[in-house]
Structures are given as structure tokens and as C-alpha cells.
Amino acid sequence: MTILDHIVASKRQEIVQWYEQYPLDSVRMACQPEQKSTPEFYQRLAQTKASGQPFFIAEFKRKSPSEGWIQQNADLPAQIRAYAAAGASAISVLTDGPYFGGSYEDLKAARAVLDTIPHPPLLLQKEFILDPLQIYLAKMAGADLILLIAAILSPETLESLRLTAESIGLGVLVEVHDAEELAQIQHIPFPVLGVNNRDLKTFRTALNRSNTLMDQANGRYIIAESGVLDHRHFQMVRRADGFLIGTGLMKPGTALAESFTEHFQHEGKWLFKACGIRTESLLTNRSADWLGINFSPRSKRRLNPEALEAMNPVDFSRLVAVFYQNTFEEIVAILARFPFKTIQLYAGDLPPDRVRQLKSRVLMAIKTPPEQTPEGILETLAEPYAADVDCFILDSATPGAGARIQSDLPARFPYPFLLAGGLHEDNLDLATQYPNCIGVDIASGIESDGVVDFEKIKRIGEQLASLPLPHDFSDCF
């Protein structure tokens, strides 16, 4: 059984207990509105999109099966007030107890706090809903909208539950994880599609999954769920209409004094990966968003695992383990030895099923030989990995050689990507030519006489901060 199977089995037992405590007819009568109207969730989404701003859903979550305890003793009223003050469009509260540490009492407490705030955010009950009784209990506890998960419901049950929720004024966020789940419910006229970037069966996260389903949304609003922890991840799914963010806001020490837009945007907005770092003094460099540590047996920039161990890095959140023509066993050994959060792979080195076995964030680099057509590269190297990685990197045919990309693939690439290949401080404007380019990846261009140059990294970071943005960036901010 998967984790999701265990959660659903536990939920079915819980529903039996709820029925012993709450007669269905009584709670149904208690929830009937005086007059029916369009749920406020849909109205506010439309207003937010019309204003050109993202719809942020901030989540209160004490723990999860993938993270364990995040904040066991979290102060719910304080967190709810902080979310509201930071500009959340809605606040999600987990009510599952065994796996997420939540309860209906949490939902009621959140409602009580929001009722003291002028023009409060909406309140989402995050739950594994299988039965109409749960919807009525959510309404009675103060929810404005609910979540329905396609993976645990038949299309017929999902539609019945959606209609039940909307009949009592609740909005519905319908969640899918993949194209197959979406295809099964495309005939249902629900207006808001949530794409969970986390596989609820394995709890592996891949941010580009949201991007792969956007063209299949058929005009629905898109909410990107799970995996957005900071401004780098926000850029990777920036085309969505909204974002549901939990762990990234619940971890102790997260500052929420600024607005969500400021919290998840880098002041320069362009992302910068400085690759080939081999000296301890550069491991704390803040001019780049990522620092690439190369473990490729083919690279002149390869860093010995023993050398990295001797450097004793403390913060791995910005370090990227770069693998090119490494075996799967070599990759697994490095990841067992060092707590890298993000890795870089090259398309074709590992089959997609092997990539799915790796729990780290994945930047998938694609070599672009000029003799191959963009369509061929997309079909053979991009699409097989698209739903299982976080972001792409488009590189030249000879990675690490300082050669420019000779293909016109970047102009046609359908997903957010970092541009690599022959970039340096004098040609960064090349990135602005491509609508889906969100940043740059530079190795030889940050070196002087073969040695990584701190001043070059600093200058590139400063230039990126003032570089004009592609036209479609403005759609998200």
C-alpha cells in the first residue's frame, strides 16, 4: 500500500465515527444557505487574475508524511494573522490528524481569527474528502472552499461532491497530479484546477508537472500546489494563476513581514546558477541563486567528494550536485554522502524511471546539437522527463566548453528554462530573447584563467538584477 492508500483507509474509518456523532440530515439542513450565489472563491480568483496578481493560498500545516513534524507547536492564531497581514488571498488549514497533525478545531480556530480581520482571506479546508458529510462539517467549521482530490475519487463521486459543496456556497479546488487523472474528469465543468506537483503515492515533488498540464486546462484557473519553497521555485511555475504554499511558510524562521509577492520574488527576478565551484571561500557566495558542484568524470571542473567533505559546507540549500555521464550508482552514493537538495542531470544519461527514483529537486539539462531539429530534441529529450523534473537547462552540444547554442530550440521551448552555453557578463542580454527563459547557468563565463572569479560572479549578479525582463514576466507580478 502507498502512503495515500493508508491515508484513505484511515479516513474511511474516521468517517464512520463522524456518522455516529453527526446525523447527515441534521448537518445538511444546518448548512443550507438562504439564497444561492456563485461561491466567493471563484469571484475572488477572477478579480485577482484581472488585477494581474497571483492568487496566493498560504497553508497552516504542522506536519506531513514527507517532512514529518514541521512545527509541532505552531501558534495557529499568530500564523493565520501573519498570513493575512502578508497578503494571502486564501488560507488553507489541514484537518487530517494522523498524517498532518490537524483537526476541525484548527479550522474553527482559523475562522475565529479571520472573523476579527477586515476583508479577510478565504478559508480552505485541506482534507481527504470522500463523503458529503465531510463537506457539511467543513461548512459548519467556517470553510469558504474545499479540496477534492481526483486520485481518490471516481469522476462520478467527484462531480457529486462538487455539486454538494457549491449548493451550500463553498468553492471547490479540484486537484490532479497527472494527465491521466485530468483526462478522466475533463467533462466535469469545474472552474479551478489544482495541479499537485507532489505525487501523493511516493511524495516525490516535480515542479514542472504544473507546466505540463497548463495547456490541457481548457480555460480553467490553474493553482500550482506543493514544492514552492522560495523565489527560485516560484519562477519555475510562474505561469500559474495561483500558488498553494505550505512547508515553505511553516518552517521555523520564515519571515512573513513582507508581502507574498516580495517573499517569493528575487529582487532581480532572473535566476543565476554559477557552476563549477571548487573553493571553500565561494560556498557562501550570495550573488548567485545556485552554486554548482560538478561530479562529472568528464569535466575539468570535477570536485572530489573528499575535497567537498573537507570544505565542510553547512548550507546545502543553494548547492547543486552536477552529474554528467555518471552512473546511477555514483549519483546515489553522492546523495547518500551529502544532503544536496537539488541536482543537475543531463537528458539521456538516465532513463525517466531512474530519475523518478531520486527524491532531490532536478534541473534537467539538454544538449542541443545543431544537426538535430528542435522538434526531435523536444520529443526525445524533453518530453520524456517533463513531468518529473523541476526545471530545464538548455545547453550547447558540448557542455562546459564555453560554446554558444547553435540550435533555435530555446525560442520554441515550451517550459521555463535556464540558458547555458557560452554566456558571460557581456552577453547576458541573449537570455531576454526567449519568452520562457527564467535565468542563466554559467561556468566558463565566471572564470579567469580557468579559476572561478568571485568578482565576475558578483558583476553578473548585479547585471541580472537590472536586466530587462521578458514580456510575459509581467503577467505574474
User: Cα–chain-centroid distance for residue 230?
Assistant: 9
The one-letter amino acid code at 473 reads F
Contact 165, 146 (CB under 8 A): yes
Q: Mind giving me the DSSP string for 223-266?
A: EEES---SHHHHHHTTTSSEEEE-HHHHSTT---SS-HHHHTS-
Burial track 295-310 (b if 16+ CB lie within 10 A, e otherwise): bbeebebbbeeeebee
Q: Which helix (H) or strand (E) holds 212?
A: helix 208-213
The one-letter amino acid code at 383 reads E
Q: Give CA–CA dist 170/141, Å, rounded.
A: 12
Q: Compute CA distances 3 → 6, 8, 60, 98, 332, whole Å.
A: 5, 9, 21, 12, 23
The pLDDT score that the predictor gives to residue 91 is 97
The pLDDT score that the predictor gives to residue 44 is 97
| Per-residue pLDDT tens digits of the chain, which is 477 residues long | 899 999 999 999 999 999 999 999 999 999 988 677 899 999 999 999 999 889 999 999 999 888 899 988 999 999 999 999 989 999 999 999 999 999 999 999 999 999 999 999 999 999 999 999 999 999 999 999 999 999 999 999 999 999 999 999 999 999 999 999 999 999 999 999 999 999 988 889 999 999 999 999 999 999 999 998 888 999 999 899 999 998 878 877 666 645 666 666 554 489 999 999 999 999 988 999 999 999 999 999 999 999 999 999 989 999 999 999 999 999 999 999 999 999 999 999 999 999 999 999 999 999 999 999 999 999 999 999 999 999 999 999 988 888 899 999 999 999 999 999 999 999 999 999 999 999 999 999 999 999 999 999 999 999 998 887 654 433 433
The pLDDT score that the predictor gives to residue 477 is 30
Q: Mind giving me the DSSP string for 117-157?
A: SSSPPEEEEE----SHHHHHHHHHTT-SEEEEEGGGS-HHH
Q: Which long-range contacts (CB under 8 A, 24 or more apart) does 279-282 make?
A: 279/452, 280/311, 280/313, 281/454, 282/452, 282/454, 282/457
Return the half-sphere exposure (C-beta side, CA atoms, 13 A cut-off) of residue 384: 17
Task: Give the three-class secondary structure for 323.
Answer: coil
Q: Give CA–CA dist 431/395, Å, rounded.
A: 12
Residue that is written with C-alpha cell 502512503 in the block: 3
Burial of 390 (0-12, 13-18, 19+ CB in 10 A): buried
Q: What structural domains and CATH numbers belong to the chain?
A: 3-263 (3.20.20.70), 271-476 (3.20.20.70)
Residue that is written with C-alpha cell 481518490 in the block: 152
Return the C-alpha cell found at 190: 469545474
Backbone angles phi, psi at 211, to 5 degrees: -65, -35
Find, among 131, 152, 175, the residue nearest to 13 by Cα. Answer: 131
Return the C-alpha cell found at 294: 560538478
Q: Give CA–CA dist 118/84, Å, rounded.
A: 10
The pLDDT score that the predictor gives to residue 253 is 67
Contact 143, 124 (CB under 8 A): yes
Q: Which long-range contacts (CB under 8 A, 24 or more apart) does 179-182 make?
A: 179/212, 179/213, 179/216, 179/387, 181/150, 181/151, 182/150, 182/213, 182/216
